[in-house]
């Protein structure tokens, strides 16, 4: 028993807006144990909408449609639903009264154009819109319950919470899907696949899936159960096992980031950090301070883009730059050590490299970066070869993530 | 002649991720005059993917598919495409060599699991992946060109730009949609609506639409024509007229950013800039250096998060911080003036404020920010009250945009 979601709007099919309604609805459905078999996005075209509805009801028990209920001529979903139902539209008095009241409450008279929003297909029932003008529509088509909701997210969500979800509950399907998200760093998707092969076999409950986004690989554990507790129990077992197998490669849950993980460790240990950045030019400091309360451990950053700045702000010897180049192990080390000394922070991270697109050489192609980490008793330097095909943005993003992970691992070592 | 887009991933159908690939691809297609007839999102299910492909090619001339090309067992798009093509998979040597080289370049050996990424359906051709391991696949099915691209946005976009778009151009479709994008800053969407009302009337060609994203309001001018030149001609007339009406509020085209506009002006005038940041903590420097070649005008940044850093790095008098607080007009002015003096840059921007969620007070609620701009003959200070309801991320983002726009307007004044 699956659901299908239909999003309507030419602005969506042309890609001028990102559809956030479908994912939100899919999550709500999952929360009450209804798996979504797929989403379809169609333009404001009466035939296309009708066809999408008709093909969705073939295998879905629930079809949730959003969009195309506005008062303008390009809003055709009401008509298309009537077509799919093989019925005509009628003016629903109660809905019209509510729309008129909506305007009256705002000391306005209803524009004639809004009257069409009270048109409902014969045999369907309106769903009250408590924060807008367009009522939703509920209809039965073949074996499916069809819900037509406004495209405006706030109106759609209010209507879903108030009318749709309760009616879904009453379908008697009590199974729930719960999800847990783990973020990993330092293993490839293939490595993860090998370490977790048995947990990722198809049809298993929970399901374990991976998705990669610029070096961070996220694991999604979805557990199905008769009750929330049952589902949570299954998930917890997997999460514990995955954490055991992956160890330090797991850096967080849910919405955690590497900066968040570093912040927690610094906070726990009462330590501080400062950064010296050339190629990342502020991004490392920015990421560390994305975390609310970062002022407890983040002291300062020196964005030494020009060589003169490296010398003046960080006492990097001009001869060192002369001898090895600004992008070198030696300069990265000097930046980290001096940043730590000058700032008085317990740890200092440094980054110098070639973000591109220009500035590469055979010896040091674009994507060559040197990272430094100065700690109380030691300094580490790491050479990165991120690959000359990455964009400037990617080189900088990955550099920062690898630097944050260096500090994270160092802090974990300290913890023992 | 329409296109269809298929997005693959259970994380998408369950609503755990928002699909940004489909809208991006739809925009690229519109840019070359190909209208997208709809998007479909299907889970990592071999049959569901095959069915989606087969039904898409019924009426589409182009089908672009993303996702499910990873090396893990839940990546089934290759197999599903082979099913749709009624053919088998074979190991593509050249692709395998490239994948192995990808790992070698990073001083790693290819995990066995990645080998499957070199499997290509018989009769299909691989598309090189210049920034990841999974090659794309191009195939012909019925009357449609089918492109299978990775789900990782950065890899997908690089592949689309490099291989897919050029091959689309060569299809010689007639009636074209061309798009021109203008970015504005400082006017509300309502202001724009009034100034451009006559150009925004429904059914007009070109169509002029606005979309707002965190203070930047973007105008999309879509022109339909029998030929690219005809469409471009229509657009050009509108663009010229819009630029005339909006003047300095327009800061760029296409993918331009405020930082890009500032960089062009600094470059033209042979000037330099440095920044002193507290609440934005590196984001201002990062945005300025997002622009390739920024080293020509960006000297350095001082991320003075701690008050001690404000005093030591920027000579901000401790008494000044005592008397007015770190978040004050006076401190912002001192930061900008001293940053300009110390760095030797011709211009210096400063930002100090309360990004939240904590740290607000009745007098200085979250979203209170002071910006400084030190120029050769003057210093300006601006107080922002961005609103306590914004997230930390939004406060920092808007602060940086307003600061960059301050500098942009100052540089434009100089130009005269």
Q: Which of B49, B211, B40, B19 is nearest to A24 (CA)?
A: B19
Report, at the CATH architecture level, how domain A176-253 is classified.
Answer: 2-Layer Sandwich (3.30)
Window B:228-267, CB contacts with A under 8 Å: none
State the DSSP H helix or E strand holding residue A216, giving kind and residue range, or none if neither: strand A216-225
- Cβ contacts (< 8 Å) between B39 and chain A: which residues? 12-13, 39-41
Bridge partners, residue B38, by sequence: B4
Strands B136-141 and B125-127: antiparallel
- Cβ contacts (< 8 Å) between A19 and chain B: which residues? 18-19, 23
Sign of the Cα torsion A393, A399, A405, A408 reads negative
Shortest alpha-carbon distance between residue B248 and chain A (Å): 25
CA nearest A181 in B: which residue? B16
Cβ distance of A52 and B38 shorter than 8 Å: yes
* pLDDT 10s digits, A180-233: 999 999 999 889 999 999 999 878 999 898 888 789 999 989 888 888 899 899
Where do the domains of chain A lie? 2-169, 176-253, 258-415
Q: Tell me, what's the pLDDT at A131?
A: 79
Cβ distance of B293 and A30 shorter than 8 Å: no
Radius of gyration in angstroms for the set of CA atoms belonging to chain B, rounded to a whole number: 26
Mean pLDDT in consecutive groups of 10 residues from the start of chain B, 416 residues: 94 90 92 87 96 96 96 93 97 96 90 95 95 94 96 93 80 65 89 87 82 81 85 95 97 95 97 98 98 97 97 97 98 98 98 94 94 97 89 93 98 92
- Cβ contacts (< 8 Å) between B275 and chain A: which residues? 303
Smallest Cβ–Cβ distance between A286 and the set B29, B114, B281 belongs to B281
Label residue A174 by pLDDT band (50, 70, 90). Answer: low
pLDDT at A171 over 60: no
Cβ distance of A212 and B280 shorter than 8 Å: no
Stronger pLDDT, A143 or A173, i.e. the higher one: A143
Topology annotation, domain B2-169 = Molybdenum Cofactor Biosythetic Enzyme; Chain A (3.40.980)
Cβ distance of B280 and A293 shorter than 8 Å: no
Stronger pLDDT, B32 or A130, i.e. the higher one: A130
Contact B297, B267 (CB under 8 A): yes
Cβ distance of B72 and A222 shorter than 8 Å: no
Reduced to 3 states, what is the DSSP secondary structure of residue B290?
coil
B161 touches chain A (CB under 8 A): no
Residue A292 neighbours by CB distance under 10 Å: 15
Q: Which of B27, B371, B32 is nearest to B174 (CA)?
A: B32
Report, at the CATH architecture level, how domain B258-415 is classified.
Answer: Alpha-Beta Complex (3.90)
Cβ distance of A305 and B290 shorter than 8 Å: no
The residues, any chain, with a CB within 8 Å of residue B146's CB and separated by 6 or more, are B53, B57, B63, B65, B81, B138, B139, B140
Cβ distance of A13 and B130 shorter than 8 Å: no
Smallest Cβ–Cβ distance between B281 and the set A22, A301, A387 belongs to A301
The torsion angles phi and psi of A63, rounded to 5 degrees, stand at -125, 120
Shortest alpha-carbon distance between residue A17 and chain B (Å): 7
Strand A216-225: give its sheet, edge to edge.
Answer: A207-213, A216-225, A176-185, A250-253
What is d(CA B365, CA A67) in angstroms, rounded to the nearest whole number? 38
Q: With the CA atoms of B371, B373, B378 and B382 taken in that order, what torsion angle do they form, in degrees rounded to the nearest 10?
A: -20
Average pLDDT of every residue of chain A: 93
CA nearest A15 in B: which residue? B23
Tally C-beta pairs within 8 A across A and B: 277
The 3 state secondary structure assigned to B121-152 is ECCCEEECCCCCCCCEEEEEECCEEEEEECCC
Shortest alpha-carbon distance between residue A116 and chain B (Å): 19
What is d(CA A178, CA A156) in angstroms, rounded to the nearest whole number? 23
Mutate to test the interface with B, among A4, A8, A15 (most CBs of B within 10 A): A15
Window B:44-83, CB contacts with A under 8 Å: 44, 48, 52, 70-74
pLDDT at A242 over 80: yes
Shortest alpha-carbon distance between residue B245 and chain A (Å): 24
Window B:120-139, CB contacts with A under 8 Å: 130-131
Label residue A378 by pLDDT band (50, 70, 90). Answer: very high
What is d(CA B64, CA B159) in angstroms, rounded to the nearest whole number? 12
Q: Which of B35, B40, B49 is nearest to B21 (CA)?
A: B40
ipTM above 0.85, yes or no: no
What is d(CA B315, CA A294) in angstroms, rounded to the nearest whole number? 23
The residues, any chain, with a CB within 8 Å of residue A374's CB and separated by 6 or more, are A336, A337, A339, A340, A347, A348, A350
Q: Does the reported pTM lie above 0.90?
A: no
Q: How many residues are recorded in chain B?
A: 416
């Amino acid at each position: 028993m699956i659901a299908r979601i239909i999003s309507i709007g030419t602005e969506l099919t042309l890609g001028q807006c990102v559809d956030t309604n479908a994912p939100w609805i899919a999550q709500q459905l999952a929360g009450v144990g209804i798996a979504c078999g797929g989403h379809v996005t169609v333009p404001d075209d009466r035939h296309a909408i009708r066809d999408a509805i008709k093909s969705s009801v073939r295998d879905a028990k629930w079809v949730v449609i959003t969009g195309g209920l506005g008062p303008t001529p390009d809003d055709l979903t009401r008509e298309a639903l009537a077509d799919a139902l093989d019925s005509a539209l009628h003016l629903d008095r109660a809905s019209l009264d509510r729309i008129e009241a909506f305007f009256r409450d705002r000391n306005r008279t209803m524009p004639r154009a809004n009257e069409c929003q009270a048109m409902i297909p014969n045999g369907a029932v309106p769903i009250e819109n408590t924060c807008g003008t367009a009522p939703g529509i509920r209809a039965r088509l073949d074996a499916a319950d069809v819900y037509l909701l406004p495209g405006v997210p706030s109106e759609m969500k209010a209507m879903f919470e108030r009318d749709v979800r309760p009616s879904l509950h009453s379908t008697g399907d009590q199974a729930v899907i719960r999800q847990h998200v783990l973020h990993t760093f330092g293993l490839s998707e293939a490595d993860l696949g090998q370490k977790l092969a048995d947990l990722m076999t198809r049809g298993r409950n929970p399901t374990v899936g991976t998705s990669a986004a610029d070096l961070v690989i996220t694991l999604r554990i979805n557990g199905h159960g008769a009750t929330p507790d049952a589902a949570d129990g299954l998930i917890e077992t997997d999460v514990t096992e995955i954490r055991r197998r992956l160890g330090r490669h797991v850096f967080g849950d849910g919405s955690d980031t590497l900066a968040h993980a570093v912040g927690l460790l610094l906070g726990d240990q009462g330590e501080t950090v400062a950064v010296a950045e050339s190629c990342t030019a502020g991004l490392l400091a920015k990421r560390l301070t994305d975390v609310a309360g970062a002022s407890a451990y983040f002291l300062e950053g020196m964005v030494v883009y020009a060589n003169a700045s490296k010398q003046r702000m960080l006492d990097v010897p001009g001869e060192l730059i002369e001898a090895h180049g600004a992008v070198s192990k030696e300069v990265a080390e000097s930046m980290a050590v001096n940043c730590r000394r000058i700032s008085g922070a317990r740890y200092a991270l440094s980054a110098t490299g070639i973000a591109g697109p220009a500035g590469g050489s055979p010896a040091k192609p674009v994507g060559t970066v040197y990272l430094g980490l100065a700690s109380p008793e030691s300094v580490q330097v790491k050479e990165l070869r991120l690959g000359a095909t990455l964009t400037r943005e990617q080189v900088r993003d990955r550099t920062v993530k690898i630097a944050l992970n260096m500090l994270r691992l160092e802090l974990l070592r300290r913890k023992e």
